[in-house]
Amino acid sequence: MLAAVCATGRRLTREELEGLRSRGERAAEAGLGLRALVRAHLSAARTTHPALPRAAHDHLLAAVEQAVDAFAEGHERAQLLAVRQEEAARREFIDDLLYGRSDLGRLAERAERFGLLLSHAHAVAVAEGPEPYADGYPVSRGIESSLVARFGDRRILLTTKDGRLICIAPADEPDVLTHFAKQAYAATDGGRVAIGRPHPGAGGVVHSYEEALNALDLAARMSLDDPVLHAADLLVYPVLTRDRQAMADLVVSVLGPLRNARGGAQPLIDTLTTYFDTGCVAAEAARRLTLSVRAMTYRLERIHRLTGADPGDPVQRYTLQTAVVGARLLGWPEQEL
């Protein structure tokens, strides 16, 4: 090809360029690196160069430029297609893994390709921020780089799902998820991370993932301030809402009379929430609510009169506190029960 070009001064034909692109694609599919292939092209040009008259040198360089460009285009096209196919396979695997789909044996085989051994126990951490996470975003890349730099290849899988960043790690590597949580929180303004409990097998990954999602949902409903949530620390809340109807009955029965207060039930529920959060210290609760201690005491007395339950009595306090937690979990009084 070079000899013909140098003899006539013509440019490479469309057929020749397409042939070079096809060769570039086949080379990429065969796993040959582009650097070595470009060297081979230049070596062929160097072999041709001494036999050429000086006037043909420019023709030679122009032809080599065209040839290398077409070959590289085909090589890059095949590489991009391979990357897209790999991303599609990875995304399909993540969906099947986190939703518990696909045959478990087949899922375990695919998992090894992505660095997971589903015969072991795993835990899942889920991070959400003010803006959705996506593959390739600077925040996602930065967190991934930090994990790789610190832990190397420890069978960690980092991915995104529904705008959240997800880290799956072996159960015997708890420091991985702790580091992930710190990095995810530091990388976002107002982000939050939830860590599910370790569970064995492919179903264990799903279970841990759902626990982490439930913890994030619970934190939103309960206005929890902790940036890092552990599902193991929040097990009491699912227990309380396991019998939703019984909890709804408790909320309406105990707190329903607060609707008759001036301003409705919500201000008094907020008062009880703050009072319980401060360990039932009226002065601290008043400070947080920007009230005087006298006003705080009046509100507690008002709650006692309306509900018949004394926040200062240990037994009645427990009933009130459980009802307040139930109200926050069920969205009462905004939502009718």
For range 308-335, the mean pLDDT = 90
pLDDT at 63: 85
pLDDT over 70 at 55, yes or no: no
- CA 88 vs. chain centroid, Å, equals 17
pLDDT over 70 at 159, yes or no: yes
Q: Note whether 127 and 210 are within 8 A (CB).
A: no
For range 267-283, the mean pLDDT = 93
pLDDT at 236: 86
- Which range has the worst mean pLDDT, 45-54, 88-97, 295-304? 45-54
For range 13-20, the mean pLDDT = 90
pLDDT at 307: 93
Q: How confident is the model at residue 51 (pLDDT cuts 50, 70, 90)?
A: low
pLDDT at 83: 65
Calculate helix-pair angle for 138-151, 174-187, nearest 10 degrees.
Answer: 150
Give me the chain's average pLDDT, please.
Answer: 87
| Geometric angle at alpha carbon 108, from 104 and 114, rounded to 5° | 140
Select the highest-mean-pLDDT range: 103-112, 128-137, 233-242, 270-279.
Answer: 270-279
**Four-residue CA torsion sign, 16, 20, 26, 27:** positive
Nearest to 139 by CA among 188, 98, 177: 188
In whole angstroms, give the CA distance from residue 226 to residue 20.
59
91 or 281, which is more confident: 281
pLDDT digits over 193-247, tens only? 999 999 998 888 989 999 999 999 988 888 888 899 999 998 888 888 888 899 9
In whole angstroms, give the CA distance from residue 47 to residue 37.
15
For range 95-124, the mean pLDDT = 80
37 or 53, which is more confident: 37
pLDDT over 70 at 50, yes or no: no
Q: How confident is the model at residue 46 (pLDDT cuts 50, 70, 90)?
A: confident
pLDDT at 101: 67
Nearest to 282 by CA among 298, 265, 296: 296
pLDDT over 80 at 284, yes or no: yes
pLDDT at 89: 76
pLDDT at 52: 66
Alpha-helix runs per DSSP H in the chain = 2-8, 14-29, 34-48, 57-98, 104-113, 138-151, 174-187, 201-222, 236-240, 244-255, 266-277, 282-288, 293-307, 314-330
In whole angstroms, give the CA distance from residue 213 to residue 151.
25
- Which range has the worst mean pLDDT, 85-89, 229-233, 260-264? 85-89
pLDDT at 315: 84
Determine if the peptide bond prior to 257 is cis (ω within 30°). no
What is the pTM assigned to this prediction?
A: 0.67
In whole angstroms, give the CA distance from residue 177 to residue 238.
23
In whole angstroms, give the CA distance from residue 123 to residue 212.
9
